Amino acid sequence: MNNDIFIIIPSRIGSTRLKNKPLADLNGKTLIQRVFNKAKEVTNNVIIATDSKEIIDHCKQFNAECILTDKNHISGTDRIFEAATKLNLKNEQFIINLQGDEPFMKRELIDQIIHDFYQYKCDVITASHKLDEVDFINPNSVKVYAKKGYADNFCRLPAKSRDYQKHIGIYGYCFKTLKQIVSLEPTANEKEHKLEQLRFMDNGMSIYVSEYNENIVPGIDTQDDLNNAIEYLKNNED
């Protein structure tokens, strides 16, 4: 496994839509444990960045490396930056931001992200897959439009054309780029659309969008999502 690849999982206890979400039980394992296990399939360098001692105490039970971070971070990106700084990462080391509510993220997709980052010249890499009819008009579903593989626009509004794809919320960047990202002020575009990645683009950063063609099981944001995940695992436990 590549020692220059780190997966950092931001995990905060204060979710508003699902109380204590990281500790929610998913058929005998917590949400955060399942995300951690997925990440460990890719690299041994997996760190949970959290604002909660309760989460840290829980993660010790499955030998996860954790870093306690500030409770006041506005975004997961800021939380990851604090963790990466405490890890003394080098500028060229590659970080994957794997959200703490994505227990079904495919190893193949993470491997693809790593491959494409080194294959294509970009500052940031993310992923997408085909929009279904529901997501096409769903304002809670983030969409991305790419030209020749590079992001040209992100939006929440109903997609303007079938060329848009559903954005998958996973990011990769070198630590040097992460330093630059957290130094930037939020832009008007970002504030209007509530999409942090627009700040990257507004400041001239290139984002390569790695298209993933397999089915994606949604992450967990609400109680309904949790119930659906439990039902999914009854027939698809891995």
Model confidence pLDDT, tens digit, residues 158-209: 877 889 999 998 999 999 999 999 999 999 999 998 899 999 999 999 999 9
**Same domain? 163 vs 68:** no
Question: Domain range holding 189?
Answer: 107-215
Please list, residue by residue across 208-229, b when 16 or more beta carbons sit within 10 angstroms of its beta carbon and e when fewer do.
Answer: bbbebeeebeebbbeeebbeeb
**Same domain? 94 vs 137:** no
With pLDDT > 90 as the criterion, what percentage of the chain qualifies? 72
| Whether this model's pTM surpasses 0.85 | yes
Pair 7, 41: CB distance under 8 Å:
no
Pair 102, 21: CB distance under 8 Å:
no
pLDDT of residue 137: 85
Nearest to 45 by CA among 98, 121, 100: 98
- Report how far residue 217's alpha carbon sits from residue 110's, in angstroms, rounded to the nearest whole number: 14
With pLDDT > 70 as the criterion, what percentage of the chain qualifies? 98
- Tokens read off for 75: 């975004």
**Same domain? 78 vs 95:** yes
pLDDT digits (tens, 9 = 90+) for 177-187: 999 999 999 99
**Same domain? 210 vs 146:** yes
> Is 231 inside any structural domain?
no
**Same domain? 38 vs 120:** no
Which CATH number belongs to the domain containing residue 43 in this structure? 3.90.550.10
Strand pairing category for 65-68 and 94-98: unpaired
In this predicted model, which residue has the larger pLDDT, 99 or 2?
Answer: 99
